[in-house]
């Protein structure tokens, strides 16, 4: 029989600790994440100021926030690939390229959302 895991508040606190460690590692090891956090910190007050209503403000903030989420997922893929091997392998390269493409798509989506809301 499997050992029961943490439940309730204990589980939430453990999960929060791991999330905080992940964000610290992301900040420490990933320059792109730091740049995107700066972009988010600039975009946040602009979104609150430029959005005409709550929905527009939420979309502006969400679109840039998604970039941070996708960048974090991309970094996790890169970490796993690098953990497995630093040798060049077609699939490893493809995994990293796909993660990078996901970040690029998130950035394009954020730009489109901002352009449509501000100029559409």
Provide CB contacts within 8 A for 110, sequence distance 6+.
63, 64, 66, 67
Evaluate whether 27 touches 10 at the Cβ level (below 8 Å). no
- Verify whether residue 71 is a known catalytic residue: yes
Q: State how far the Cα of 33 lies from the Cα of 22, in Å rounded to an integer.
A: 12
Evaluate whether 43 touches 64 at the Cβ level (below 8 Å). yes
Catalytic residue of the set 30, 56, 71, 78:
71
Provide CB contacts within 8 A for 34, sequence distance 6+.
27
Counting Cα atoms < 13 Å in the Cβ hemisphere of 81 gives: 19
Residues forming the active site: 71
């Amino acid at each position: 029989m499997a050992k029961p895991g943490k439940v309730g508040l204990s589980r939430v606190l453990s999960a929060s600790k791991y999330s905080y460690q992940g964000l610290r590692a992301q900040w420490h090891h990933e320059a792109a994440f730091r740049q995107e956090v700066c972009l988010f910190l600039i975009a946040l007050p602009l979104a609150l100021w430029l959005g005409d209503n709550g929905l527009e403000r939420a979309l502006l903030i969400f679109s840039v926030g998604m970039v941070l989420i996708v960048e974090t997922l991309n970094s996790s893929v890169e970490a796993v690939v690098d953990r497995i091997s630093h040798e060049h392998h077609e699939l490893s390269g493809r995994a990293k390229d796909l993660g990078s493409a996901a970040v690029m798509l998130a950035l394009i989506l954020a730009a489109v959302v901002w352009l449509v809301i501000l100029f559409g």
